């Protein structure tokens, strides 16, 4: 299904994966997909690091998941360093494979090797090509705190509004205060843009993650850092993890209460934290009224776990990047 159609039907929930780079990562991803599939997500997305090799790994994983017929997929597309003809060909291949959703991203400068010039100056230019090829729901990225490359918050919002003018929805970078999402949506509304903006969530489950999240443009607020440090003093790593998941659950519930159109989880190819947050939300009176995004399958309708995981492991075989 197209994600714009899913959003029109009600609240969505979605998970993000990345292509595996080793046999161990492939096994972990297979288990994660099977564990999260019985939550019946509205869709799953697959990241793309940029470059032709990464582009193909994303294509192979997206289409392999799509062929299983259980999960709606969304492929990430990177503008930086890409040639128009290559992307047009890729889009046709996605469309032929039954993939109906793409997330258009500008892309980061390469950490290794030269910054190869491409045909797209911005994500908007890539979105234009996606519309020209046709057949896709188009998502774009949003940054509640503003993109690190933006001159200021107003300039960031203006650019996001321009991106959404040619897209169907946005998905945010992860963040930790509900006011950040509300402010972003209000800023867009002032610019006449009311497209759905899905909040992206990533729980802080270890103190070592705090610095890394700041480098990704989403610093952990001081009050949450203090909460996690207090948990560490009281009970060590397990207590930190529990406190981080509780904080993410509170944030998710608050976002839904404020009218967020759904929740998008950055899973890092692992399922336990995402599953725990879902279970907590399912038993929370605060979000019991949230609309379902469509008919839900019962556990009896789903494949047997061991058999399904074996099939998924086979599906991922050959998608690993051994280099």
- Summarised one tens digit per residue, pLDDT across range 203-236 is 999 999 999 998 888 999 999 999 999 999 999 9
The pLDDT of residue 297 is 35
Per cent of the chain over pLDDT 90 is 75
Predicted confidence (pLDDT) at residue 94 exceeds the cutoff of 70: yes
Distance CA 299, CA 297 (A): 7
The per-residue pLDDT for range 256-278, each reduced to its tens digit, is: 999 999 999 999 999 999 999 99
How far apart are the C-alpha atoms of 216 and 145, rounded to whole Å?
11
pLDDT score at 187: 97
C-beta of residue 32 within 8 angstroms of C-beta of residue 312: no
CATH pick for 3-203+260-270 out of 3.40.50.1000, 3.40.50.300, 3.20.20.150, 3.20.20.220: 3.20.20.220
What percent of the chain is predicted at pLDDT more than 70?
Answer: 85
pLDDT at 150: 77
Whether the pLDDT of residue 289 is over 70: the answer is: no
Catalytic site residue from 16, 34, 180, 276: 16
Residue 16 annotated among the catalytic residues of the structure = yes
3 sits in the region (left: phi over 0; alpha: psi -120 to 50; else beta) called: alpha
* pLDDT (0 to 100) of residue 291: 38
Mean pLDDT for the stretch of residues 75-81: 94
Tell me the pLDDT of the chain averaged across its residues. 88
Strands 197-201 and 262-266, sheet pairing: parallel
């Amino acid at each position: 299904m197209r994600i714009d159609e899913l959003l029109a039907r009600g609240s969505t929930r979605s998970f993000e994966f990345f292509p595996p780079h080793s046999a161990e990562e492939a096994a972990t991803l297979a288990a994660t997909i099977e564990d999260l599939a019985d939550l019946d997500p509205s869709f799953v997305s697959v990241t793309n690091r940029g470059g032709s090799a990464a582009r193909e790994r994303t294509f192979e994983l997206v289409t392999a998941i799509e062929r299983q017929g259980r999960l709606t997929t969304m492929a990430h597309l990177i503008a930086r360093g890409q040639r128009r003809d290559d992307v047009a060909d890729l889009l046709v291949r996605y469309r032929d494979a039954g993939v109906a959703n793409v997330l258009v991203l500008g892309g980061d400068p390469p950490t290794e090797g030269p910054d190869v010039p491409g045909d797209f100056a911005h994500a908007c230019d890539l979105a234009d090509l996606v519309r020209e090829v046709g057949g896709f729901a188009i998502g774009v990225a949003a940054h509640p705190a503003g993109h690190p490359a933006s001159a200021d918050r107003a300039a960031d919002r203006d650019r996001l509004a321009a991106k959404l003018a040619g897209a169907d929805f946005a998905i945010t970078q992860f963040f930790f205060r509900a006011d950040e999402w509300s402010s972003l949506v209000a800023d867009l509304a002032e610019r006449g843009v009311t497209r759905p903006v899905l909040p992206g969530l990533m729980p802080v489950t270890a103190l070592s993650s705090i610095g890394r999240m700041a480098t990704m443009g989403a610093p952990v607020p001081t009050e949450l850092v203090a909460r996690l440090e207090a948990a560490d003093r009281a009970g060590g790593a397990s207590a930190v993890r529990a406190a981080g998941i509780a904080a993410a659950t509170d944030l998710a519930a608050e976002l839904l209460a404020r009218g967020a159109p759904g929740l998008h989880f950055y899973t890092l190819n692992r399922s336990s934290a995402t599953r725990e947050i879902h279970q907590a939300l399912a038993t929370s009176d605060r979000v019991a009224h949230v609309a379902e995004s469509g008919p839900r399958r019962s556990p009896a309708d789903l494949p047997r776990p061991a058999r399904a995981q074996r099939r998924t492991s086979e599906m991922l075989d050959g998608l690993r990047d051994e280099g």
